[in-house]
């Protein structure tokens, strides 16, 4: 029986240590803004404003909290000892790069938090969660433990939800979560097609692979998640990302393609075998015909797509079609702005475009789609989850006041060694878990 379901968006709340350390090789925006002074307070408020606009439109909007940073347990594991203040001082003197890595606010990009399969697709009819190991980058590889605790706290009822540990943290099973995964369907409550996009086959040295930048997602990781989530052949498609796109700075598939419902919006450089990918989706998609909205390189050169993050936009259902929620940079790049006007005039499935200001996130290489994890929930599952993380007017007001009270308006790389910053972060997060009703999820609380 098909149940009514919605696609909830769980956005990452930007953390108090949001900074520009340029940690992500292969992410052009991240490297180009290295060592600039950030504004954590403004970044968090921009993210909350985006969430509020979508919640006001009637979308189910959830919140995932930031992680504790700097992460002292990681520094201790790397041999730094003493009090917390001494550890920060010694790490800053010994390796400022390591300190920057364990201070990153990268958990804000919750598209990388996990891969989620709805109950309509899984053999046991539960919603399945696998936190991403993010093994390609040290600063992100330390996230999955707290991500897992957070998801288990929110989705605690094992009658409805199943949780898996992250895959082994080695390159052969590099997993970047929903940034390389999307779901296409007729209606959210119907069985859908889960599209797993990978950068290379790790166990096949002869297979195509990028030459300049690393492929972060492997075929083997995607296959493992399919097994863990109990997906059948009719519910999944594997597609290889175009290696040339990765080498051009498309480090995740969600920088070059986005899907929702029966619509796939993508650049012609997105997939290595484009026609085969479309054919495989069409063969498995039931209840609707695939709407493939293809953007050619002649209309939007790949470098413009990367600079604007056109495809790192949210594609959302509305009563009159689909809304494309784009970053402000899309109206600043001429070819992209021209294309969006053409798209709206074409009469296709995308009928509206709205601009969102997430510039603080964009400077680190994350647009609107990076900031959210999509979770399809039927009505029973929506009621079974912890509701304290669903954004309401009251919660929005409380969180904006919380940000104003705890976040700095300037943060430079050298500030990461300040022991007062660590104290500020812990105080803020301890208060936040109380506001959201999540219990003890952080190392310093356990």
Residues annotated as catalytic (active site), given as ranges: 176, 252, 370
| φ/ψ of residue 380, rounded to 5 | -65, -40
DSSP state of 378: E
**C-alpha pair distances (Å), 438 with each of 20, 312, 379:** 29, 29, 22
DSSP state of 165: P
Bridge-partner residues for 12, per DSSP? 64
Q: Residue 111, CB half-sphere, CA atoms under 13 Å: how many?
A: 22
Q: Is the dihedral of CA 318, 322, 327, 328 positive or negative?
A: negative
Query: C-alpha 292: how far from its chain's center?
Result: 23
Bridge-partner residues for 4, per DSSP? none
The number of beta carbons lying within 10 Å of the beta carbon of residue 191 is 22
Residue with tokens 């040295």: 205
Residue with tokens 């506001």: 435
Q: Hey, is 286 helix, strand or coil?
A: coil
Residue with tokens 């970047």: 176
Closest to 13 measured CA to CA, from 50, 59, 53: 50
Bridge-partner residues for 323, per DSSP? 316, 352
- Cβ-count burial 95-108 (b if 16+ within 10 Å, e if not): eeebbbbbbbbbbb
Alpha carbon distance 135, 137 (integer Å):
6
């Amino acid at each position: 029986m098909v149940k009514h379901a919605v696609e909830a968006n769980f956005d990452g709340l930007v953390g108090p240590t949001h900074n520009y350390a340029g940690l992500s090789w292969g992410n052009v925006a991240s490297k180009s803004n290295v060592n600039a002074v950030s504004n954590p307070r403004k970044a968090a408020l921009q993210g909350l404003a985006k969430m509020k606009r979508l919640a006001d439109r009637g979308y189910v909007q959830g919140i995932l909290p930031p992680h504790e940073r700097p992460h002292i347990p990681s520094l201790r594991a790397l041999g730094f000892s003493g009090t917390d203040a001494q550890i920060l001082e010694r790490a800053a003197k010994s390796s400022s790069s390591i300190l920057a890595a364990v201070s990153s606010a990268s958990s804000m990009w919750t598209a990388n938090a996990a891969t989620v399969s709805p109950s309509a697709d899984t053999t046991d009819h539960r919603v399945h969660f696998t936190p991403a190991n993010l093994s390609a980058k040290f600063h992100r590889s330390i996230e999955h433990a707290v991500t897992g605790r957070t998801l288990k706290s929110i989705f605690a009822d094992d009658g409805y939800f199943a949780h898996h540990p992250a895959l082994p943290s080695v390159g052969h099973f590099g997993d970047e979560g929903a940034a390389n995964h999307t779901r296409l369907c007729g209606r959210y409550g119907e069985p859908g097609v889960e599209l797993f996009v990978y950068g290379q086959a790790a166990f096949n040295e002869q297979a195509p692979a990028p030459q300049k930048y690393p492929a972060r997602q492997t075929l083997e990781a995607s296959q493992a998640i399919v097994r863990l989530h109990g997906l059948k052949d009719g519910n999944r498609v594997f597609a290889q990302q175009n290696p040339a796109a990765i080498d051009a700075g498309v480090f995740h598939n969600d920088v070059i393609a986005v899907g929702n419902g029966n619509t796939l919006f993508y650049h012609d450089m997105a997939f290595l075998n484009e026609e085969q990918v479309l054919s495989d989706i069409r063969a498995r998609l039931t209840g609707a015909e695939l709407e493939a909205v293809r953007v050619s390189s002649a209309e939007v050169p790949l470098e413009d797509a990367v600079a604007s993050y056109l495809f790192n936009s949210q594609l959302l259902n509305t009563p009159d079609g689909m809304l494309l929620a784009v970053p402000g940079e899309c109206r600043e790049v001429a070819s992209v702005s021209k294309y969006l006007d053409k798209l709206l005039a074409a009469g296709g499935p995308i009928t509206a475009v709205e601009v969102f200001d997430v510039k603080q996130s964009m400077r680190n290489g994350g647009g609107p789609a990076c900031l959210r994890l999509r979770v399809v929930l039927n009505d029973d599952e929506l009621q079974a989850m912890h509701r304290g993380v669903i954004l309401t007017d009251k919660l929005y007001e409380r969180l904006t006041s919380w940000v104003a009270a705890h976040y700095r308006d300037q943060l430079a790389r050298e500030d990461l060694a300040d022991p007062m910053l660590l104290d500020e972060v812990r105080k803020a997060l301890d208060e936040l878990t109380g506001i959201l009703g999540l219990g003890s999820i952080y190392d310093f609380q356990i």
